[in-house]
Amino acid sequence: MYERGLRILCFPCNQFGKQEPGSASEIRAFADGYDVTFDMFSKVDVNGPNAHPVFQFVRAHLSDILGSSVKWNWTKFLCDRDGKPSERFSPPTNPLSMRPAIEALLDKKPTAERA
């Protein structure tokens, strides 16, 4: 799906049980051991006053049953080609089960192309 425009952005966070205590290079080395190909960013906060702007934005648009804060690592947010938040998935959601939602968004043209 990468060739169709899918991009996976990974933001490590140490706010949940201190699960990401390493430095950026240590986290990257760990991920490289699994041959990941997604974009990995520096460690960020996803909740609280220092939450990264990306998470402030998606949380403001997509709440779950427990509110807008991120409850645990591996919460997934799906945004369309225009950057509009579309769906939120809980940590235990298997990424493969997200395929229909992802493909539906990949099939939609960006707003500029629809005009």
pLDDT digits 0-9 by tens, 77-97 = 999 999 999 999 999 999 999
Average pLDDT of the segment spanning 47-64: 94
Q: In this predicted structure, what is the pLDDT of residue 109?
A: 81
Q: In this predicted structure, what is the pLDDT of residue 110?
A: 78
Q: Which CATH number fits domain 2-114: 3.40.50.261, 3.40.30.10, 3.40.190.10, 3.20.20.70?
A: 3.40.30.10
Whether pLDDT at 53 is above 90: yes
Q: With the C-alpha atoms ordered 12, 16, 18, 19, is the resulting torsion angle positive or negative?
A: negative
Q: pLDDT higher for 71 or 66?
A: 71
Whether pLDDT at 115 is above 60: no
Over 12-72, what HEC string results? CCCCCCCCCCCCHHHHHHHHHCCCCCCEECCCCECCCCCECHHHHHHHHHCCECCECCCCC
Q: In this predicted structure, what is the pLDDT of residue 59?
A: 95
pTM of the model: 0.86
Domain positions in the chain: 2-114
60: which 2 tokens? 């403001």
